[in-house]
A and B are shown apart, each in its own frame.
Chain A
Amino acid sequence: MSQLVSCRDVTKSYIRAKEQVDVLTGINLDIEEGDFLALMGPSGSGKTTLLNLIGGLDQPSSGSIEVGGVGLQDMSERALAKWRSENVGFIFQFYNLLPVLNAQRNVELPLLLTRLSRAQRQKNAQIALEIVGLEDRAKHKPGELSGGQQQRVAIARALVADPKLLVCDEPTGDLDRETADEILNLLEVLNRDHGKTIIMVTHDPKAAAHAQTTWQMDKGKLVAEVPA
């Protein structure tokens, strides 16, 4: 298997109240294509920060991040936005669906950035909803769906443009055990049967157990690979 993500000496610092806060202090991480990686660690250890850097939402203070052979650290904001739309699917803890749009239209959103025809967009959105098992809820708005169903819609949205990489920040953090397991099983299916590389931040060891690889973070460093 080839390597999809490669982080070299990545640091990230913020200036807060005139003081420099070093959030990431020298991250080196390689992720194989097809991996399902869980990131664990105490609150404030920098998990979200690292995930955002790999997903191209932010850029490192120093070091390099290559995803699919492309260096993200030097890209313009505009180029990065385009790169994200083609290469990454995002899944958030609170789903982040647009409340005024129904499930189908939420899933279609990323395709507005492509050249696909309206009919093709609708078809792809429908396929994505079928994959997550929600084809019968296409016309429902987020407010009319349960938390688990909303997260499925969000996963369909992350899938619809067919990116190689899915980044998930505590995707089950807002769900009960049973629903969380359903979502995690779905992510496993996407990893195994659809070839998606997944990076998932979680606090929950049971969630991490669904992953192939688990890394522990602490104080801005990757401290140990936890054996599965």
Chain B
Amino acid sequence: MFSQIVEITLMNLRNIPSRLGSSSVIVVGIAGVVAVLVGLLSMAVGFSRALETTSLENRALLLRDGSNSELSSGMDVAAANIVSRLEGIEVASPELYVIADIPKRATGTPANMVIRGMRSAGLEVRPEAEIVNGRLFETGKNELIAGVKAVAEFEGLELGSEVQFRASTWTVVGHFETGGSAYESEVWGDLAVAQAVFRRGGSISSMRLLLADPALLEPLAEQIQQDPRLDLALKSEEEFYSGQAEDRAALINTFGYSVGVIMAIGAVFAALNTMYSAVSTRTVEIATLRALGFSSMPVVVSVIIESLALALLGGLLGAAVVYLLFDGYTASTLNNASFSQVAFDFAVTPELLRIGVTWALGLGLVGGLFPAVRAARLPITVALRGE
């Protein structure tokens, strides 16, 4: 029985080149499904990654109580300073978070870019930040440093360029990296200058705190919560960003799977159709084999294997296309919570490739099963007439 299966399967597979046209419909259809599915899922993974790598374990974020984003948060420096003097806080960085419309390179249409005003402590709380080009902004001057993804994303952030915000002119003096995190989509400048330009007086949006120990976060948060002078809340940066990432990643995931399912239905019909015609052109061949004494099982199995082989080819092709075109490709999306553009890299992970290939095989199985069973159940005498 086993050798029958092997022989007939090999025969069918050798037969594929003579049916290249119809077989390629399966391959291309399934490649399309896998490419779209893996492409969309890799977007979700990449987006989550960009936001998650933004966080540092012992870095905490101080926001106004009840506020979920830096944009909607606000506090005065005096209140923030009460917190910054608490035991266990090593560095405190008061920051102003504003957004401005800057034209995107790709489209020329304006999109929201984050401008973060900070003092030198801003770099101390972000040890991952590194100037890769030029120098740091100077205190009291209209100078900016731009994250490398912001440079790629927006127009006019090259070294030495001048940028207009609110009738003030800023010079880009440096470019920085933060290990691929969401900060790279921002531009940073001096806090006092930003407060003046954006007319925020002495108020800030948030404060980044570096804790002596991540374990201190909970007691500190509790203490701040209890303090009647403070209307503030302390969150771990991880919690803050993963909350944002989950929303968007979940949305992209849902979208990815929905589109995947719709395309998969199409591909199943293409596969079914192709396998039906592949099988029906061989009705007489299959009947002849059965007349010679071969049983139906090898016929069924071999048709399914053929379909799986074509599907696998399609799956690998689709995955390869996505991998070559998209892995590491930088895209950006509006971050819901902060209303700013976050650039991220598509991440085509082995896990996603596995999902893609699994889908392909599932489609191949369904596409092969029905034609195979039909071929096996047709009476030999009817099939031999070849009608």
Contact = CB atoms under 8 A, between A and B. Distances in A.
Contact of B381 (A58, A84, A94, A112): A58
A189 interface: no
B219 to A, nearest CB: 76
Contacts of B293: 81-82, 84-86, 110, 113
A70 interface: no
A48 to B, nearest CB: 8
Interface in B280-304: 284-285, 288-295
Given A81-B293, A113-B292, A96 B379 contact: no
B292 A110 contact: yes
Given A98-B11, A98-B288, A100-B18, A113 B294 contact: yes
Contacts of A36: none
A92 interface: yes
A91 B76 CA distance: 98
Contacts of A112: 3-4, 7, 294
Interface residues on A, range: 20 to 34
Interface in A63-79: 78
A178 B252 CA distance: 73
Interface in B293-344: 293-295
A100 B14 contact: yes
Interface in A20-54: 48-49, 52
A58 B3 contact: no
A92 B380 CA distance: 13
B384 interface: yes
Interface in B99-127: none
A109 B292 contact: yes
B381 A113 contact: no
Contacts of B384: 57, 92, 96
A186 to B, nearest CB: 20
A138 interface: no
Interface string A113-151: 100000000000000000000000000000000000000
Given A96-B285, A98-B285, A90 B7 contact: no
Contacts of A100: 11, 14-15, 18
A101 interface: yes
B260 to A, nearest CB: 35
A75 to B, nearest CB: 13
Nearest to B6: A112
A90 B292 contact: yes
Contact of B294 (A49, A52, A57, A81): A81
A57 B291 contact: yes
Contacts of B288: 90, 92, 96, 98
B373 to A, nearest CB: 15
A58 B380 contact: yes
Given A52-B381, A57-B384, A112-B3, A90 B11 contact: no
Nearest to A98: B285
A143 to B, nearest CB: 10
Contacts of A78: 295
A113 B4 contact: yes
Interface of A: 48-49, 52, 55, 57-58, 78, 81-82, 84-86, 90, 92, 94, 96, 98-101, 109-110, 112-113, 157
22 contacts: A49-B381, A57-B291, A57-B384, A58-B380, A78-B295, A81-B295, A82-B293, A90-B288, A90-B291, A92-B288, A96-B284, A96-B384, A98-B285, A98-B289, A99-B18, A100-B11, A100-B14, A100-B18, A101-B11, A109-B292, A112-B294, A113-B294
